[in-house]
């Protein structure tokens, strides 16, 4: 399988793209590293998918590996999950951050409803099974970029709603107050809206549901127009930027999508020090921290590489 790589762009264009939530970065050459660290002499290619969280995570890995002495080729910004995974398994890249839920449903082709609800158990099962594909999963982060339902924080206070069970009660008693905005994919997926309605025992009338691009949801919710509630991803920086409250999934319906580094087993066998460099980073990536870092890119327009450097230095992970 071939993959499409997003090519580097100039600063002003990048800043404009960041404001729209669709950026790309990276270059084809190696950079940094080459020092006396644990990975001195290693040559590694780091990839990522094309959206902002992935671009940021890719830069975090690049800078940490360079600090450990590796020569790193920046291959971030590959278009789509399938292409990024193909780049890994074909040897075009050596490692990239993936999500445990994606590993379970997409790469290992399991039904979403069969996923373990415990994040650690899911991560273990994915790692064990994917070993047959010569892909190693390092320690998962606490950050879980799964689906969620959110609303403006002041509206949540007004309605007294904090959980999806609360929302189900509202949808059953007053559906016109429970309007929802969501993307077509979420409205159709087994692990999306149909599953939420089944798990929480409600059926919101179609008239109260608006199909919109997911990127539009974050900006619409503070206005409550056309919806009070909306589909979000739980580590998106626009949650902070738009002062949203994410409803607790109190029945643990949504599949967990914890961030974890995936590495070609051949690469990890040659450079086992990769684990020593990257596992401590995962320990620092909580939902709160990942959302905060994403907000600096998604909302404030900072460059992923600058945010990555700040994070690693502040946490004492490089330098």
| 113, 221 contact by CB (below 8 A) | no
Q: Is residue 157 part of a domain?
A: yes
Q: Same structural domain for residues 55 and 190?
A: no
**Each residue of 262-318: pLDDT tens digit?**
999 999 999 999 999 999 999 999 999 999 999 999 999 999 999 999 999 999 999
Query: Cα(121)–Cα(119) distance, rounded to whole angstroms?
Result: 5
Q: What is the CATH number of the domain that holds 171?
A: 3.40.190.120
**Each residue of 141-184: pLDDT tens digit?**
999 999 999 999 999 999 999 999 999 999 999 999 999 999 99
**Each residue of 46-77: pLDDT tens digit?**
999 999 999 999 999 999 999 999 999 999 99
Q: Quick one: pLDDT at residue 31?
A: 60
**Each residue of 215-250: pLDDT tens digit?**
899 999 999 999 999 999 999 999 999 999 999 999
Q: Same structural domain for residues 140 and 157?
A: no
**Each residue of 93-111: pLDDT tens digit?**
999 999 999 999 999 999 9
Mean pLDDT, range 4-30, rounded to an integer:
38
Q: Quick one: pLDDT at residue 33?
A: 64
| 63, 72 contact by CB (below 8 A) | no
Q: Same structural domain for residues 235 and 164?
A: yes
- Mean pLDDT, the chain, whole residue set: 90
Type and span of the H or E element at 165: helix 164-173
Which string of DSSP letters, residue by residue, matches 258-312?
BEEEEEEHHHHHH-THHHHHHHHHHHH--HHHHHHHHHHHHTT---HHHHHHHHH
Q: Same structural domain for residues 269 and 206?
A: no
Query: Cα(159)–Cα(240) distance, rounded to whole angstroms?
Result: 20
Q: Is residue 4 part of a domain?
A: no
Which of 192, 214, 246 is at the close of a domain? Answer: 246
Q: Same structural domain for residues 137 and 155?
A: no
Q: Is residue 2 part of a domain?
A: no
| 256, 100 contact by CB (below 8 A) | yes
Residue 132 CB partners (closer than 8 Å, separation 6+) = none
| 88, 3 contact by CB (below 8 A) | no
Q: What is the CATH number of the domain that holds 110?
A: 3.40.190.10
Domain encompassing residue 135: 11-144+258-314
Residue 158 CB partners (closer than 8 Å, separation 6+) = none
Q: Quick one: pLDDT at residue 32?
A: 62
Mean pLDDT, range 39-43, rounded to an integer:
97
Tally: H helices and E strands in the chain:
15, 11
Which of 221, 246, 271 is at the close of a domain? Answer: 246
Number of domains in the chain: 2
Does residue 42 have a pLDDT over 80?
A: yes
Q: Same structural domain for residues 138 and 264?
A: yes
Q: Quick one: pLDDT at residue 296?
A: 98
Q: Same structural domain for residues 94 and 205?
A: no
Q: Same structural domain for residues 136 and 271?
A: yes
Q: Same structural domain for residues 230 and 276?
A: no
Q: Same structural domain for residues 264 and 121?
A: yes
Mean pLDDT, range 195-204, rounded to an integer:
96
Does residue 190 have a pLDDT over 90?
A: no
Q: Same structural domain for residues 91 and 200?
A: no
Q: Same structural domain for residues 120 and 36?
A: yes
- Helix, strand and coil content of the chain, in percent to the nearest 5, comes to 45, 15, 35
**Each residue of 24-38: pLDDT tens digit?**
334 444 566 656 799
């Amino acid at each position: 399988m071939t993959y499409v790589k997003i090519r580097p762009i100039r600063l002003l264009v990048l800043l404009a793209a960041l404001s729209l939530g669709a950026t790309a970065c990276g270059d084809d050459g190696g950079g940094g590293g080459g020092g006396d660290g644990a990975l001195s002499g290693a040559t590694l290619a780091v990839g990522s998918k094309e959206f902002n969280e992935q671009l940021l995570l890719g830069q975090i890995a690049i800078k940490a590996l360079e600090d450990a002495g590796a020569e790193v080729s920046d291959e971030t910004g590959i278009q789509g999950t399938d292409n990024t995974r193909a780049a890994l398994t074909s040897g075009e890249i050596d490692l990239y951050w993936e999500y445990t839920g994606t590993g379970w449903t997409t790469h290992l082709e399991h039904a979403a409803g069969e996923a373990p609800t415990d994040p650690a158990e899911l991560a273990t099962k994915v790692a064990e099974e994917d070993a047959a594909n010569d892909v190693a999963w390092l320690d998962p982060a606490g950050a879980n970029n799964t689906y969620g339902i959110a609303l403006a924080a002041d509206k949540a206070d007004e309605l007294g709603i904090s959980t999806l069970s609360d929302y189900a009660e509202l949808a059953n008693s007053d559906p016109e107050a429970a309007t929802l905005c969501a993307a077509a994919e979420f409205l159709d997926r087994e692990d999306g809206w149909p599953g939420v309605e089944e798990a929480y025992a409600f059926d919101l009338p179609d008239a109260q549901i608006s199909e919109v691009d997911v990127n539009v949801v974050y900006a619409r919710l503070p206005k409550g127009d056309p919806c009070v509630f909306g589909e979000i991803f739980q580590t998106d920086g626009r949650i902070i930027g738009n002062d949203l409250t994410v409803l607790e999934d109190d029945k643990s319906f949504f599949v967990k999508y914890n961030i974890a580094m995936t590495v070609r087993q051949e690469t990890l066998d040659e450079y086992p020090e990769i684990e020593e460099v990257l596992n401590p980073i995962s320990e620092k990536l909580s939902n709160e921290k990942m959302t905060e870092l994403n907000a600096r890119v998604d909302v404030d327009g900072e460059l992923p590489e600058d945010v990555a450097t700040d994070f690693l230095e502040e946490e004492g992970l490089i330098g």
